[in-house]
Amino acid sequence: MSDTTIIAERVHEFVLAGFAAGAGEERLAAAPDVEWQKIRAAGTALWLDTGDLDEASKLWCAEFSGLTTNNTLLNQEVQKGLYDNLVGRAAAALREAMPTVDERTLVLEVAFVLNAWHGLRLVQRFGAHVSVEVHTDLADDLERSVAYGKRYHAICPEKFYVKVPLTPTGLLAARKLAAAGVPINLTLGFSARQNYAAALLTQAAYVNVFMGRLNAFVADHGLGDGANAGEKATLATQRELIALRQAGRTHSRLIGASMRAGGQVGALAGLDVLTMPVKVAAQYREQPQDRVASPVETDPEVIWAPGMEGGDCNADTLWAVPNAFKQSVAALLKQDVDTLRGEDLQAHFDNTGFGDFLPCWSEEAIAVIREDGKIPSYTRWHERLASRQIGLDALMNISGLQSFVQDQQALDDRIRSLL
């Protein structure tokens, strides 16, 4: 038996046995709510975007069916000190199973324990589906992304969705996991074209548009009033997915993510899924929309600042899915995709005229992006955006990933401090 198998089996045993021994939560009684029923009647599943059990409990009702967590949200819970004792016990169990385990592996495995354990707490408290996310160190590691995705699924196959980032390698990992029966939540999507390709390539259960970050990019840099860029990308994505589902080409469903205001809930009723931060859900419930109607067939206008056009930041990459791009995806699917690597996907789109879709990022560029945070600097990237070397969707994607990397590092540092 390999060292990897020994550790994986010990972690699985530790999580399930320990949780069953009394670490779980009492199931919350969920009453129906007439205002949330209106959103559900529009065809929208309602999730909460939080890992905070107490805050989620204040809003939870019968119409809610899922919770999403990520590296950032889990880190917030871990930094409260809630799991310090668990870290020590998990590390001890791993060292007992494999005395020679190195620190990097130990941290990765303890982080897995924390994610799985917290996910189980959410499942037990709310009876909900819960999205748990692979470690950011695995974003470019195909084999280990697949292995850890299968391990998460094995912990709670009835309720866990496995979050994989939309990276070149992540797309291939999601494809392999979905083919193995693992329900995938493909995260860090920002555009209709990203999700068109992802739905066909991976057959993920869910794809995302992080709409709030798109609006923030426009507003923070004075490119416009910050309204509707995210909504336009989200609604365009929903229409593309509906067409693909009607044609029998995918079953992928859309999550409207990164919501920032309660008004977006009623305005976007009709999307497949809305995942709402607690603050957003509370705002909507305090001021619900009287009449709820699906806006999916609408195309909201984005107002740019004087002298500014969407082409200056390659914004049409957020909502346009041209026929040439669809043909590029079709050509990719004719290849033996399961033999490809992430760099092969990048080369394919580059060779078919869409090098801005999955661009290669240098180490220097990633360092700059990480310094900027989850909303990238328009000034730094204006020339490359305007010349269509990179898509705005691609820039937002790598910025989002690097912000998650930083939060994952903070979580990992907490683990190291307790070993």
Write out the catalytic residue numbers.
163
* 64-68/253-257 β-pairing: unpaired
Residues in CB range of 241: below 8 A, 6 or more apart: 195, 196, 199, 207, 250, 252, 253, 254, 272
CA dist 160 and 128 (Å) reads 9
Range 144-150 contact pairs with CB under 8 angstroms and sequence separation of 24 or more: 145/169, 145/170, 145/173, 145/177, 146/173, 146/176, 146/177, 146/180, 147/4, 147/8, 148/112, 149/173, 149/177, 149/182, 149/184, 150/177, 150/180, 150/182
Structure tokens at 345: 């996907």
Q: How far is CA 303 from CA 212, 219, 264, 299, in A?
A: 16, 11, 17, 13
Q: In sequence order, what are the residues at sequence separation of 6 or more whose Cβ sits closer than 8 angstroms to the Cβ of residue 373?
A: 399, 403
For residue 309, give both structure tokens. Answer: 């056009």
The encoded tokens of residue 200 equal: 């066909």
CA 21 – CA 191 distance, rounded (Å): 44
Residue 254 C-beta-side C-alpha neighbours within 13 Å:
35
CA distance 397 to 377: 13
Residue 364: both structure tokens together: 């220097």
